[in-house]
């Protein structure tokens, strides 16, 4: 667990160092930082539907991101700072800079991909949900680099 926190912290720091070059990188960094805060302080007993990288076609990244954005409010947090983190994540993921990264598919490609609905993904524990979310954010970042 501590190794994954250190890794996420290192990734967030690296994102922050690269933030000057792109508002997309800054937004990704902010989301990753807030996810890390939630991961450290949430109640892990809840299960949520969660896309995984293995579930995603390239043209389904936007729908997966929408799923994570919607489900982030279902993470069990009681601390006011973590509730604020949930709001920040949702707000940042609505920004057009993130949507433009993942919406490079044509409408017919998105329809052909037959993306799953959020509720059709396998239920996982809260910690796995956050890890899957972080992995998707890293994939989005890699597509930018």
CATH number at residue 132: 1.20.1250.70
Query: What is the arithmetic mean of pLDDT over 34-48?
Result: 87
Domain count, the chain: 1
Structure tokens at 120: 């059709």
Cα 52 to Cα 59: distance, rounded to the nearest angstrom: 14
Percent above pLDDT 70 for the chain: 76
Q: Mean pLDDT over residues 45-50, rounded?
A: 88
Residue 123 bridge partners (DSSP): 49
Q: Tell me, what's the pLDDT at 12?
A: 56
C-beta atoms surrounding 131 within 10 Å: 18
pLDDT value at residue 132:
93
What digits encode the pLDDT tens for the residues 68-126? 999 999 998 888 999 999 999 999 888 766 666 566 677 777 777 778 899 999 999 99
Angle between helices 2-18 and 23-41 (to 10 degrees): 160
Tell me the residue range of the domain where 134 lies: 2-144
């Amino acid at each position: 667990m501590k190794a994954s926190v250190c890794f996420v912290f290192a990734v967030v720091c690296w994102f922050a160092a690269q933030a000057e070059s792109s508002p997309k990188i800054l937004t990704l960094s902010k989301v990753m930082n807030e996810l890390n805060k939630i991961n450290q302080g949430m109640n892990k007993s809840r299960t949520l539907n969660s896309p995984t990288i293995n579930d995603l076609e390239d043209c389904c990244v936007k729908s997966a991101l929408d799923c994570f954005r919607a489900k982030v409010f279902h993470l069990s947090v009681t601390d006011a700072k973590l509730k604020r983190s949930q709001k920040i994540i949702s707000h940042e993921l609505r920004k057009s800079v993130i949507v433009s990264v993942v919406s490079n598919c044509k409408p017919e490609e998105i329809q052909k991909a037959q993306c799953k609905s959020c509720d059709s993904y396998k239920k996982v524990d809260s910690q796995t949900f956050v890890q899957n979310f972080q992995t998707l954010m890293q994939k989005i970042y890699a597509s930018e680099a």
